């Protein structure tokens, strides 16, 4: 209802037109009954021409109100869907990284696209059909009983049987459609995984294996869908039979009432004319009811997203973080993704503004996690992370992350031009700013060698570029953002040797004058850090300069000697 509220005027107008359309639509059978009972007895021409004139008006009003109602309700439903889709997307953007690590991207994609489309089908065609059919049923039932109470009551009774059958059908089919929506999400997730990893699939010649895996997911969806088809195939004919027993009652009881003088032939003709309005909507209602059950299952998945409370969110009194000097302090920080498995314990470390801090240790000890806590991709479970003496939880996430630049091991680039990817660091940047950032990242020359220079489309995830080229564009993006704090996670591990030296020079330039944290197994990068922190088992074991670490840490000394 909150999503529909902005469109209440359109909905109200559409419903008003719908009611007027149904009133005009239900008028013609009364005219037929009048002509049969009056004109065929009197033979007066006006008893035929006047009813024909009213039929023309009735049909014209029906067409006019139908067009207006369709436009108004469709506009409202499209606005509703637009807002709903934006809300789902916005909610996903609010979620922390942990939310996406626990869910499959393809399933979230299915919720945003497929499930919202299902709800859209109900709003556009379903709502109109339900209301129109419901109004027809109520209107015709009223006319039936007014024309002949005994016959009218008898003709309406089968609809009670339809309602009871519909109740039990909905109870049975709802779980089936929940499973169908879930399995469709599984198919979408599998497809998304395969398309994202197509290079790995081909590298290991696993096309047949993946085709088999996809077939299993598709078969699960197929089987759930066929279960729904089986239920519908039994239910729909059964309900249709119950509904059409009313036609039998109408003919048999109606003819007998005419014979005994308690009804007229014109009245029976009127009943027959209303038959398609009364029993015909049963098919429509069954189809729309089925659509509603599908949409209900989809809507549950949508609102699972909308109702999910982000694990990391701004406090009500969160303030904007002003331009930072860059002092970063970990004050007795502890963190765990799951309570039973602590990743970091009692970390206390301070970086002065402009210092470079190298994080050393074996894989899995929490180096990347420690940097993620600075950007508040996760919240600490104990202690605090402070920037310039301010707890990062006391400021808005957006203002915090505007101060932080990230260079990751796996560089992500958008399927756009080189210039657009660099400009992502500062959307309002001029072309001159973009070029200058590329120069500082040692990327300008290779960009000019591309087919269209800065306008070159680089493909999904930058597949048209080498690893080193992608990394230099990411560095240029950081230069353009001009952050006060820089986080670098294995920035040279995925690049070709020819590019490593160029990238290291660009990183050194990028780090100058900024507080930088770097995770790397390349000792050539760590040696240049002002402070090196050694983590073991999620605990800070040692911290100091390169020379101090050589004396204090056997693991660091062995790694340094092995790199020489």
| pLDDT tens per residue across span 134-189 | 788 888 888 888 888 998 888 888 888 888 888 887 778 878 888 887 888 788 87
- Spatial contact of 355 and 545, defined as CB atoms under 8 Å apart: no
Kindly state the average pLDDT of the residues 225-229. 86
- Spatial contact of 516 and 374, defined as CB atoms under 8 Å apart: no
For residue 451, is pLDDT > 70?
yes
Alpha carbon 65 to its chain centroid, in Å, reads 35
Cα–Cα distance for residue pair 117/131, rounded to 1 Å: 21
Kindly state the average pLDDT of the residues 321-326. 90
Three-state SS annotation for 475-490: HHHHHHHCCCEEEEEC
For residue 226, is pLDDT > 70?
yes
Entry pTM: 0.67
Residue-wise pLDDT for 232-281, tens only, equals 788 878 877 887 787 888 888 888 988 888 888 888 888 888 877 777 67
- The pLDDT of residue 43 is 74
- The pLDDT of residue 27 is 83
CB proximity list for 38: less than 8 A, separation 6 or greater:
47, 266
Q: Where are the alpha helices (DSSP H) in 95-148?
A: 97-101, 105-110, 116-121, 127-147
- The pLDDT of residue 564 is 61
Kindly state the average pLDDT of the residues 380-392. 93
Residue-wise pLDDT for 15-61, tens only, equals 899 889 888 888 888 887 877 877 777 778 888 888 888 889 988 99
- The pLDDT of residue 349 is 92
Pick the closest to residue 500 from 546, 527, 467 (CA basis): 467
Cα–Cα distance for residue pair 505/18, rounded to 1 Å: 70
Cα–Cα distance for residue pair 101/185, rounded to 1 Å: 16
Alpha carbon 435 to its chain centroid, in Å, reads 36
Kindly state the average pLDDT of the residues 331-350. 86
In the chain, domain spans: 5-306, 328-563
Kindly state the average pLDDT of the residues 493-515. 76
- The pLDDT of residue 213 is 85
Residue-wise pLDDT for 279-301, tens only, equals 767 777 777 777 777 777 777 88
- The pLDDT of residue 393 is 93
Kindly state the average pLDDT of the residues 412-422. 87
For residue 366, is pLDDT > 80?
yes
- The pLDDT of residue 64 is 92
For residue 457, is pLDDT > 70?
yes
In DSSP terms, 489 is beta-bridged to 519
Cα–Cα distance for residue pair 227/484, rounded to 1 Å: 58
| DSSP E strand stretches across 13-134 | none
Cα–Cα distance for residue pair 320/540, rounded to 1 Å: 31
Cα–Cα distance for residue pair 18/20, rounded to 1 Å: 5
Cα torsion through 241, 243, 249, 251, rounded to 10: -90
With the C-alpha atoms ordered 449, 451, 455, 461, is the resulting torsion angle positive or negative? negative
- Spatial contact of 137 and 159, defined as CB atoms under 8 Å apart: yes
CATH 3.30.1360.10 applies to domain 328-563: no
For residue 414, is pLDDT > 90?
no
Q: Which residue has the higher pLDDT, 492 or 231?
A: 231
Cα–Cα distance for residue pair 81/512, rounded to 1 Å: 48
Mean pLDDT of the chain: 84
| Pairing of β 531-536 and β 356-360 | parallel
Segment of 58-67, 93-102, 514-523, 549-558 carrying the highest mean pLDDT: 58-67
- Spatial contact of 514 and 522, defined as CB atoms under 8 Å apart: no
Percent of the chain with pLDDT over 70: 96
Pick the closest to residue 250 from 132, 148, 142, 139 (CA basis): 148
For residue 387, is pLDDT > 90?
yes
Confidence of residue 332 (pLDDT cuts 50, 70, 90): very high
For residue 390, is pLDDT > 70?
yes
Pick the closest to residue 332 from 287, 383, 406, 374 (CA basis): 383
The beta-carbon contacts of 459-462 under 8 Å, at least 24 apart in sequence, are 459/415, 460/415, 461/412, 461/413, 461/415, 462/411, 462/412, 462/413, 462/421
Cα–Cα distance for residue pair 462/490, rounded to 1 Å: 19
For residue 496, is pLDDT > 70?
no
- CATH homologous superfamily of 5-306 equals ABC transporter type 1, transmembrane domain (1.20.1560.10)
What are φ and ψ of residue 394, in 5° steps? -95, 0
Three-state SS annotation for 357-376: EEEECCCCCCHHHHHHHHCC
For residue 418, is pLDDT > 70?
yes
């Amino acid at each position: 209802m909150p999503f529909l509220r902005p469109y209440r005027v359109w909905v109200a107008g559409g419903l008003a037109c719908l009611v007027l359309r149904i009133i005009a639509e239900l008028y013609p059978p009364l005219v037929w009954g009048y002509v049969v009972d009056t004109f065929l007895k009197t033979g007066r021409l006006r008893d035929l021409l006047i009813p024909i004139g009213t039929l023309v008006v009735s049909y014209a009003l029906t067409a006019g109100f139908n067009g207006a109602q369709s436009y108004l309700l469709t506009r409202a439903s499209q606005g509703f869907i637009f807002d709903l889709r934006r809300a789902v997307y916005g909610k996903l953007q609010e979620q922390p990284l942990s939310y996406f690590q626990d869910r499959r991207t393809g399933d979230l994609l299915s919720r945003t696209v497929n499930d919202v489309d299902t709800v859209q089908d109900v709003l556009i065609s379903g709502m109109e059909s339900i209301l129109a059919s419901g109004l027809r049923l109520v209107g015709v039932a009223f006319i039936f009983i007014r024309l002949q109470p005994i016959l009218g009551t008898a003709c309406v009774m089968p609809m009670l049987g339809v309602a009871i059958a519909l109740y039990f059908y909905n109870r049975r089919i709802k779980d089936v459609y929940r499973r169908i929506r879930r399995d469709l999400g599984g198919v979408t997730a599998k497809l998304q995984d395969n398309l994202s990893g197509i290079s790995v699939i081909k590298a290991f010649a696993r096309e047949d294996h993946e085709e088999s895996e996809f077939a299993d997911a598709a078969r699960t969806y197929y089987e759930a869908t066929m279960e729904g088809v089986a239920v519908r195939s039994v239910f729909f004919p059964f309900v249709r039979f119950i509904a059409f027993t009313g036609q039998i009652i109408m003919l048999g009881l109606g003819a007998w009432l005419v014979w005994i003088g308690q009804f007229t032939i014109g009245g029976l003709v009127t009943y027959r004319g209303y038959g398609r309005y009364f029993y015909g909507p049963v098919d429509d209602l069954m189809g729309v009811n089925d659509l509603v059950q599908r949409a209900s299952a989809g809507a549950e998945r949508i609102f699972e997203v909308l109702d999910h409370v982000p694990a990391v969110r701004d406090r009500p009194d969160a303030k904007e973080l002003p331009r930072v000097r860059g002092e970063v302090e970990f004050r007795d920080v502890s963190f765990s993704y799951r309570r039973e498995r602590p990743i970091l314990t009692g970390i206390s470390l301070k970086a002065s503004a402009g210092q470079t801090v190298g994080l050393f240790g074996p894989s899995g000890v929490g180096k990347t996690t420690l940097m993620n806590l600075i950007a508040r991709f996760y919240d600490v479970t104990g202690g605090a992370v402070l920037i310039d003496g301010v707890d990062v939880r006391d400021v808005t996430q957006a203002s915090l992350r505007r101060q932080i630049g990230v260079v990751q091991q796996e560089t992500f680039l958008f399927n756009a031009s080189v210039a657009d990817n660099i400009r992502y660091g500062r959307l309002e940047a001029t072309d001159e700013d973009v070029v200058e950032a590329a120069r500082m990242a040692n990327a300008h020359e290779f960009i000019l060698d591309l087919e269209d220079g800065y306008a070159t489309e680089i493909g999904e995830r930058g597949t048209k570029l080498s690893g080193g080229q992608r990394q230099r564009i990411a560095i240029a993006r950081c230069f353009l953002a001009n952050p006060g704090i820089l986080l670098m996670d294995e920035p040279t591990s995925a690049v070709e040797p020819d590019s490593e030296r160029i990238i290291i020079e660009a990183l050194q330039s990028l780090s100058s004058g900024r507080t930088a944290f770097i995770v790397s197994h390349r000792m050539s990068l760590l040696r240049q850090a002002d402070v090196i922190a050694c983590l073991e088992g999620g605990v800070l074991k040692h911290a100091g300069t390169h020379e101090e670490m050589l004396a204090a840490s056997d693991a660091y000394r062995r790694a340094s000697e092995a790199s020489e």
